[in-house]
Structures are given as structure tokens and as C-alpha cells.
Structure 1
């Protein structure tokens, strides 16, 4: 379910529209980066199914995305509340190089 949607911004490198949306289910939430036609599908309160979504790292934090291999489908309204207090995008990760012994 889409909880919030930021304002869509256009890229300076072309006609790409990008908006960050907070999506989630009854276990957690995460920031989803919507691109182009995806921006129009993700409206606050809408229920969507994300197929073959992937995680991108941005400044050490997770962002969910659907690329050309994935799909977004609008679904019937969900019957659950989104767990916004477990936002997985708020966790900052640090890359640690493990040396060979």
C-alpha cells in the first residue's frame, strides 16, 4: 500500500520523472523510487503489487525499485495497516571490506 508520495521531479538528463514514495505492508515500510509511468500508478492510499522488485542502495540506505524486469500492478484495496514505524529505509548500512587471511 502506498502511504506517501513525494513530488515528482524531472531529471536534467532527459525526460525521466522520479518520485520517492513510502510503501509497505503490515510488517514494514520502505521508500520506493518510482520512475516515469510508475509515478502515475503510485497514489497515496493505492494498493499495488510489486513484482521482481529490487533493492538499490542510496547513501547507505535501502530504496526499493522496479526496473525493466519487474512490474507494478494496481490491486484491490488492502485490508491492513502499514507498519510505518518499521521503515527499512531509515537503517543506514556501511560497506565493510573483509580481507583474505
Structure 2
């Protein structure tokens, strides 16, 4: 029996890339790094003030998404590596989804997995549009995000 006040750890629940939605958080994923592009490598006089940012295409058997790796995370994301990403969130950048891990999450390497990323389903290529509803609108009949993205493409 656990001691009083002890917190019982629970097993993480993993999701897949195709289940990610805009402005959500708390995602745990097992992914493979497909491609890495360094977008910022600024060295400053003090190590604490240097910044490194890479945009990485990561994926699983259901699709791919762009992951924004910052500072120490940049060292972990190498092409072909498999990662476990814990407590990640979806940030919106120019209407598209990007995966990110802040100080409350964790990125770690793992053993090779038995999947290859589905490259033809890139969630970062879907453009979303914020649609404001009038007050008193029935919100139970909202279209899924895919419908909003497709309606913009047809304009």
C-alpha cells in the first residue's frame, strides 16, 4: 500500500499523429525523425543566452507533422532516430499545426520501432481558419477541422 500523500504514477497513453488537433496539449507520441532543418543557431557570449531551433519532420504509421525542436532538443533530433515525445502541444503557425515540447514535456531517444512514417499525410500542410460563431449558435453541429480547412481551399 502506498504511503499517505504519495502520488501514484500512471502509464502514459500514446496517441498517433492523425489524432492531433489544433490548440491541444498533453500528447504522448512515438515517432521517427524524417528530416531536420536548422532554422536558428545563434551563439551568444553566455551559453545561457544562445538559441538553437530546428524544424523537424517527424511521423508515425498514420502521418507526419513538423516538430519545432528548441535548444537541447536539437541534439536529440537526428534523421532516422526514433523518439518518445511526452506532454507535447500543438502550436499554430500561419494557420498550420506544429508540434512543440515546452519545459513541462520531454523528448528522448528510444529503440527502433516497427513502423515507417506515412509521408503522404502531412498534418502541417493543412491550413486552418479561425471561424467565429455568433452568440446563441448551436455548437453541437460544428463541422470537424478538416471541413473548415477544405472550405477555405475551395474559396
TM-score (norm 2): 0.62
Q: Is the 8 A contact 1:11 1:18 kept in 2?
A: no
- Matched length: 101
RMSD: 1.7
More helix by share: 2
More RCO (CA 8 Å, sep 6+): 1
Q: 5+ unaligned residues in a row in structure 1: which ranges?
A: none
What stretches of structure 2 of length at least 5 have no aligned partner? 1-31, 44-48, 137-155
**Partner residue, 1:39:** 74
Looking at CA atoms only, which structure, 1 or 2, has the larger radius of gyration?
2
Matching residue of 1:64: 99
Query: Which string of whole-angstrom CA distances, capped at 9 and with x for unpartnered residues, describes residues 20-68 of structure 1?
Result: 0000100111000000010110000000000001000000000000100
Instruction: Provide the residue aligned with 2:90 in structure 1.
Output: 55
TM-score, normalized by length of structure 1?
0.93
Runs of 4 or more, structure 1, over 2 Å off, are: none
